[in-house]
Amino acid sequence: MVIVMNPKATEKDIANVTETLKCLGLGVHISKGAHVTIIGVIGNKSILAGTPLELMPGVDKIVHIMESYKLASRTFKPEPSVIRVGDVSIGGKELAIIAGPCAVESEEQLLKIARAVKKSGAQFLRGGAYKPRTSPYAFQGLEEDGYKLLAQAREETGLLIVSEVISANSVEMALKYVDVVQIGARNMQNFQLLREVGRSGCPVVLKRGLAATIEEWINAAEYIMKEGNYNIILCERGIRTYETYTRNTLDISAVPVVKQISHLPIIVDPSHGTGKWSLVEPMAMAAIAAGADGLMIEVHHDPKCALSDGPQSITPENFDRLVQRISKLAPIVDRQYNLAH
Amino acid sequence: MVIVMNPKATEKDIANVTETLKCLGLGVHISKGAHVTIIGVIGNKSILAGTPLELMPGVDKIVHIMESYKLASRTFKPEPSVIRVGDVSIGGKELAIIAGPCAVESEEQLLKIARAVKKSGAQFLRGGAYKPRTSPYAFQGLEEDGYKLLAQAREETGLLIVSEVISANSVEMALKYVDVVQIGARNMQNFQLLREVGRSGCPVVLKRGLAATIEEWINAAEYIMKEGNYNIILCERGIRTYETYTRNTLDISAVPVVKQISHLPIIVDPSHGTGKWSLVEPMAMAAIAAGADGLMIEVHHDPKCALSDGPQSITPENFDRLVQRISKLAPIVDRQYNLAH
Amino acid sequence: MVIVMNPKATEKDIANVTETLKCLGLGVHISKGAHVTIIGVIGNKSILAGTPLELMPGVDKIVHIMESYKLASRTFKPEPSVIRVGDVSIGGKELAIIAGPCAVESEEQLLKIARAVKKSGAQFLRGGAYKPRTSPYAFQGLEEDGYKLLAQAREETGLLIVSEVISANSVEMALKYVDVVQIGARNMQNFQLLREVGRSGCPVVLKRGLAATIEEWINAAEYIMKEGNYNIILCERGIRTYETYTRNTLDISAVPVVKQISHLPIIVDPSHGTGKWSLVEPMAMAAIAAGADGLMIEVHHDPKCALSDGPQSITPENFDRLVQRISKLAPIVDRQYNLAH
Amino acid sequence: MVIVMNPKATEKDIANVTETLKCLGLGVHISKGAHVTIIGVIGNKSILAGTPLELMPGVDKIVHIMESYKLASRTFKPEPSVIRVGDVSIGGKELAIIAGPCAVESEEQLLKIARAVKKSGAQFLRGGAYKPRTSPYAFQGLEEDGYKLLAQAREETGLLIVSEVISANSVEMALKYVDVVQIGARNMQNFQLLREVGRSGCPVVLKRGLAATIEEWINAAEYIMKEGNYNIILCERGIRTYETYTRNTLDISAVPVVKQISHLPIIVDPSHGTGKWSLVEPMAMAAIAAGADGLMIEVHHDPKCALSDGPQSITPENFDRLVQRISKLAPIVDRQYNLAH
């Protein structure tokens, strides 16, 4: 941490700041420039969390040098993390593909899609039992019955199940049915939920918030890790920008950035990220080419009749084509994707 | 709702769409242009929520004509709503001022600030018992003890209490102590919390989400109103933009926009909205000049030692000056602010 | 400037950086922390402009401490600048109001509006002779004939003229007719134009770019000042955000921010800033309440027939009402507005 | 175009609007819904450009159905355009790679880099003779001497030359030296420059503005095409968002979007798009995987000493590696890249 003093700061102001820091047991380096003095702070800055040094007389601004997260940082753990779910790994050489409908609608719908994505080579089935929706008048999900249908689909197909949890007190119930819990974009900073999922120890897909910086997102992972759960898969799903042609702007550059600053695996959701089925395949290709560890894709056998997010769902036929292309792309980026799961 | 057909749509495509609509009991108006055909849809469109017409052959796009909310709309209720809390009204001629520390830290701190803001003329005391924070290593609040201290401050000063709730299952507990619950920016789309607060019937301050459009924000209010609770006060607190000089960009234009499209009262929080104490007073003046019904201001007797958001807190002396100026500004915009509460 | 070294930087890396700085004649302060070493740089950093220290081995990042502009900075000139145009001042106690149509359309139109805004108390007439438009099929302005009509309106009414210049080689021509040249949002970083206007010495209204940070905007002013022209009036006109209800998001907080970091006067354009005539008056009030030195308002006697930006123009009647309200607001913020110009 | 009437619009209001439209020779379709009436407008809407129907009594809003550009639209020309420069094509099966330093600094620097990128397989050399820079104190380019050095590098290496023009009156001069002119992000809406480049007929790389929507960008191309010049290559180079970790957010989804709505070729500049050399290679791979027709890459033999944008330049060694990887990726997306140019 560096404290930049105001050009008009007095010697007394500078002494005042350095005394405060020393009293707290911190080391201090003073550097006097032609115009301003800067003070480098050495030691455990977390004890400063409640001391707004910005407000001390003569202080102009505080510049943070180190990132605010630790456990999720690449500095803390230089080798990439590989998350195990059943007999599948995420973050290693093999890519991971999670596919399925936005919302679980019925047994027939879910099983039809599950069989199709299994056949094309997906390892995970996704499906929403709870659907957070902007308007209270839109379909909100089948709730626990949705989880039950997902568990049934696992029985039949062997696919691992990924499904969203939307409140801290439903985590325990969800874990009776699913293999991986998903924390949605709207809940990325629902800290009670993060802590509860942290305590559960289960694998988590943590989606990036709609307007979250990469640093805030990794801090959300840090909340989970602080409770002892390191099984986190980050998922880029588009950020809000001024561009309205796409539903969101899929930030593919988050993939190599996360790879550089964190050891956690990262996958990409091009369905929510674009909001248009015709953009899903090219953006899925882009994500893997940029180094993503996997994909989350919305698939519906009859997008016209989907109760949620139909316009961004692709058909099983298009999904099959997409997986074929991904499997050919994989070796170009030193990955592999085995179609025979 | 208007359906715009593709320039290449066939007669069969058009017939297909109109038949689908008629089967659902909706009326249809076809308008053939030189290049494209558009289809106007008449009747209750909510039955279309699960039918993504965008995906029918020949359909180019869907244009929504009506807003997606009802109860919160000015069309639904043309006269402005006035929310009563104790013997204070929000949304009428008298402005409302909510002031206090970001976080409740101790009995001494809270009472000191409460007495000061009461003396300057505030009607409400704010203070956070739960503090959602980006980093898990920052101060997270005193929780229920914080609510108790707020209730104690009400006893002593007569100020009404506003405090945040962060999960659906803590609403009941919070209501034992507070007069108005606040839903924070990060929870604006925590739909379980919205519904629970809706069922409680208590007055609510609903903050705008960090990257929420005005329409999404009013839809969040609609979730609460759908449960029968109409006592909602909207609070603009800044949106996320590319500008980094201020913590957020305070969207003052949201004030006259909300006044035009909704009947709900709206207040402004210039403390979170700017993140800098020196900008609080000019932006508070701007908010009232634009037509806001009140203000929420962070006040701390010793901002240097505040455990949360010190840099954006003003001192009781500056708050007193601000209230004086607001009381002079009020009659210019046909409002009033009585300093002797 | 502070150089933050990587946690893995070696002693040799650090020596390498400090030697490079010393060779360039710069002073160096080294501060070794528990995890990282930081190097403070002392002296004239402009000689480093072409040396990307970020790329030297072991360097993690560069943190700039001082702003990148000088002449426009409040540190450089602590007292506010007052710009004289004819016998009117901008930036002093008296507010400045610039009003008129978006585009000059005809003699009749312009004179009608000019007389009306003069009568209501405006000191300046605005009108576009060149209209930069997103689509090449939209009305592009009367060009030099437009300037001539503006000069004619000045003859008749005594109003001072503000009009946009859109290229470096038309500045000289424009100055034959207008009192203040305007640099539009799209040209804020047209550096040839900035330099040419700088050389001309004439008063300038410099609009903020659609996605410009406040720092970039002040740097654009610096380009003009570097050529010796200090007669600059900044004009906030809304920034691009994700919110689509308003045409832009008018950043009222830019007003107090600019007042704190620069000595240049700042006015606000609520017409472009919102894109809706019904929001112009409340946002004009907000701008002045926040401390703006004046307003730029689009007025058209027949907005329905305006060839450009009709929806954001107000009628002369509404303008008169707005000016009346501004004149009442002025003393509340220690300003004045004399209606009898 | 669809006109949505207000729920309170009277029969007279509706008649008033339809009469106006009919007088202008436009066809009208009225569709009365339960709440609102909508009016479809048929015919050539460009005659409405100066008639703000939004302001007629009873009108609520105008919804545009058709895009505002024509010549650049895929509807207008369904097959993709292939731009010929010398004996190279852009937009066909073969990918195009443009590489070189951000700024031309000296003969030695330019030739060194030119030889290196030629050897690795680039077809085009880029280099800035004019450098628009945020601060007036930063290096601004060698101007005409820079163009001369580029022409000299063409002589020696056979590479085609791409370089930026920054004002309408320098286009003619630039064309004495360069093969393709570039219009930079800051000038995307410098309409005089667009028209001048349009008249010249030369191939153009048109960069997306920093905060331009895809529609505005294609409208900028339309300005050039309207003058008869169809040789346009669009270049995505990152947009401004709230995320600060990267210099801009590279919008890879613009690639498939442009491919769907326009026939013009599109390339991607991952150097400006990210601002960090370590992100250039993964984002270049992503761009090609998403369907881009080529790349523009900043290469410098000594990024540490680059006078401009060193941190985002890659070395010739890294560029060679990147081209090798692109050539392997190309067949996966039905393209080719011949390393032996």
The answer to whether the CB atoms of D138 and C211 lie below 8 A apart is no
- For B3, the closest chain D residue by CA position comes to D65
Radius of gyration of chain C (CA): 23
Nearest to A282 by CA among D212, D251, D208, B60: D251
On whether any CB of chain C is under 8 Å from the CB of D1, the answer is no
pLDDT-derived band of residue D8, with 50, 70 and 90 as boundaries?
confident
User: Has residue A47 got a pLDDT over 70?
Assistant: no
The interface predicted TM-score (ipTM) is 0.89
pLDDT of the residue at D280: 97
DSSP structure string for C137-200: TS----THHHHHHHHHHHHHH--EEEEE--SGGGHHHHTTT-SEEEE-GGGTT-HHHHHHHHHH
**Which of B31, B34, B66 is opposite residue D31, by nearest beta carbon?**
B31
The answer to whether the CB atoms of D34 and B40 lie below 8 A apart is no
Chains in contact with chain D (at least 3 beta-carbon pairs closer than 8 A): A, B, C
Over residues A296-323, the mean pLDDT reads 88
| Spatial strand order in the sheet of A27-32 | A27-32, A37-42, A2-5, A59-63
Residues in Cβ contact with A216 at an 8 Å cutoff, skipping those fewer than 6 apart: A188, A189, A209, B134
Buried b (16+ CB within 10 A) or exposed e, D162-194: bbbbbbbebbeebbebbbbbbbbbbbbbbbbbb
Residue A22: how many CB atoms within 10 A of its CB?
A: 11
Task: Say what the alpha-carbon torsion angle A114, A115, A116, A122 is, to the nearest 10 degrees.
Answer: 70
| Rounded Cα–Cα distance for residues C231 and C228 (Å) | 9
| Rounded Cα–Cα distance for residues C235 and D16 (Å) | 39
**Which of D49, D132, D216 is opposite residue C191, by nearest beta carbon?**
D132
On whether any CB of chain B is under 8 Å from the CB of D137, the answer is no
All structural domains of chain C, each given as residue ranges with its CATH number in brackets, are: 2-63 (3.30.70.1140), 83-333 (3.20.20.70)
On whether any CB of chain B is under 8 Å from the CB of C331, the answer is no
Over residues C180-204, the mean pLDDT reads 95
- pLDDT tens digit sequence for B259-286: 999 999 999 999 999 999 999 999 999 9
Helix then strand count (H, E) for chain D reads 10, 14
| Rounded Cα–Cα distance for residues B33 and B339 (Å) | 62
Residue A86: how many CB atoms within 10 A of its CB?
A: 15
Per DSSP, what are the bridge partners of residue A2?
Answer: A40, A63
Q: Which two tokens stand for residue C36?
A: 């990282």
| Rounded Cα–Cα distance for residues A215 and B102 (Å) | 23
pLDDT-derived band of residue D46, with 50, 70 and 90 as boundaries?
low
On whether any CB of chain D is under 8 Å from the CB of C42, the answer is no
**Least confident interval from B50-64, B124-138, C197-211, D11-25:** B50-64
Q: Are A212 and A193 in contact (CB under 8 A)?
A: no
pLDDT of the residue at C51: 63
Over residues D48-52, the mean pLDDT reads 63
pLDDT-derived band of residue A133, with 50, 70 and 90 as boundaries?
confident
Helices B316-329, B107-120: axis angle to 10 degrees equals 30
Instruction: Identify the burial level of B3 via C-beta atoms within 10 angstroms of its C-beta, where 0-12 means exposed, 13-18 middle and 19 or more buried.
Output: buried
Q: pLDDT > 90: what percent of chain A?
A: 67
Q: Which two tokens stand for residue D205?
A: 């790389």
Helices D316-329, D277-289: axis angle to 10 degrees equals 20
The answer to whether the CB atoms of B31 and D40 lie below 8 A apart is yes
pLDDT-derived band of residue C28, with 50, 70 and 90 as boundaries?
confident
Q: Are A227 and A195 in contact (CB under 8 A)?
A: yes
DSSP structure string for D268-323: E-HHHHHS-HHHHHHHHHHHHHTT-SEEEEEB-S-GGG-SS-GGG-B-HHHHHHHH
pLDDT of the residue at D187: 94
| Rounded Cα–Cα distance for residues C286 and C284 (Å) | 5
The answer to whether the CB atoms of D40 and B43 lie below 8 A apart is no
Residue ranges of alpha helices (H) inside B169-315 are: 171-174, 191-200, 214-226, 254-261, 270-274, 277-289
Query: D3 in the Ramachandran plot: left (φ > 0), alpha (ψ -120 to 50) or beta?
Result: beta
Residues in Cβ contact with A172 at an 8 Å cutoff, skipping those fewer than 6 apart: A200
Residue C50: how many CB atoms within 10 A of its CB?
A: 15
Q: How close are the terminal C-alpha atoms of chain C, in Å? A: 50
- pLDDT tens digit sequence for A217-239: 999 999 999 999 999 999 999 99
pLDDT of the residue at C31: 78
On whether any CB of chain D is under 8 Å from the CB of C86, the answer is no
**Least confident interval from A99-108, A123-132, C297-306, D312-321:** C297-306
pLDDT of the residue at B298: 96
The answer to whether the CB atoms of D63 and B65 lie below 8 A apart is yes
Q: Which two tokens stand for residue C336?
A: 């004045």
The answer to whether the CB atoms of A49 and B137 lie below 8 A apart is yes
Chains in contact with chain C (at least 3 beta-carbon pairs closer than 8 A): A, B, D
Q: Are A212 and A194 in contact (CB under 8 A)?
A: no
What is the 3 state secondary structure string of A83-139? Answer: EEECCEEECCCECEEEEECCECCCHHHHHHHHHHHHHHCCCEEECECCCCCCCCCCC
Give, for A62, the enclosing helix (H) or strand (E): strand A59-63
Residues in chain B where the model's pLDDT stays below 50: none
SS3 label, residue A161: strand
- pLDDT tens digit sequence for C236-265: 999 999 998 999 999 999 999 999 999 999
- pLDDT tens digit sequence for D224-278: 999 999 999 999 999 999 998 999 999 999 999 999 999 999 999 999 999 999 9
pLDDT of the residue at A295: 98
Residues of chain B contacting residue D2, judged by C-beta atoms under 8 Å apart: 2, 38, 63
Phi, psi of C89 (to 5 degrees): -115, 145
Tell which wins on pLDDT, B11 or D304: B11
The answer to whether the CB atoms of B278 and C291 lie below 8 A apart is no
pLDDT of the residue at A231: 98
- For D65, the closest chain B residue by CA position comes to B4
Query: Mutation test of the interface with chain B: which of A134, A143, A171, A299, choosing the one with the most B Cβ atoms within 10 A?
Result: A134
Phi, psi of B165 (to 5 degrees): -115, 140
Nearest to C248 by CA among C288, C287, C209, C275: C275
pLDDT-derived band of residue C26, with 50, 70 and 90 as boundaries?
confident
* Locus of tokens 């302001």: D55
| Rounded Cα–Cα distance for residues A140 and A138 (Å) | 6
Tell which wins on pLDDT, B69 or D90: D90
Q: Amino acid letter at D332?
A: I
**Which of A255, A282, A288 is opposite residue D256, by nearest beta carbon?**
A282
Mean pLDDT of all residues belonging to chain C: 91
Per DSSP, what are the bridge partners of residue D201?
Answer: none
Query: B29 in the Ramachandran plot: left (φ > 0), alpha (ψ -120 to 50) or beta?
Result: beta
Highest mean pLDDT out of A166-175, B134-143, D79-88, D298-307? D79-88
Mean pLDDT of all residues belonging to chain A: 91
Quote the DSSP letter at residue A315.
P
**Largest interatomic CA distance in chain C:** 76
CA distance to A88, B128, B192, per residue, from B163 (Å): 45, 6, 18
Residues of chain C contacting residue B250, judged by C-beta atoms under 8 Å apart: 252-253
Q: How do C96-100 and C88-90 pair as beta strands?
A: unpaired
Quote the DSSP letter at residue D170.
G
Residues of chain D contacting residue C64, judged by C-beta atoms under 8 Å apart: none
SS3 label, residue C115: helix
Q: How do B180-183 and B204-207 pair as beta strands?
A: parallel
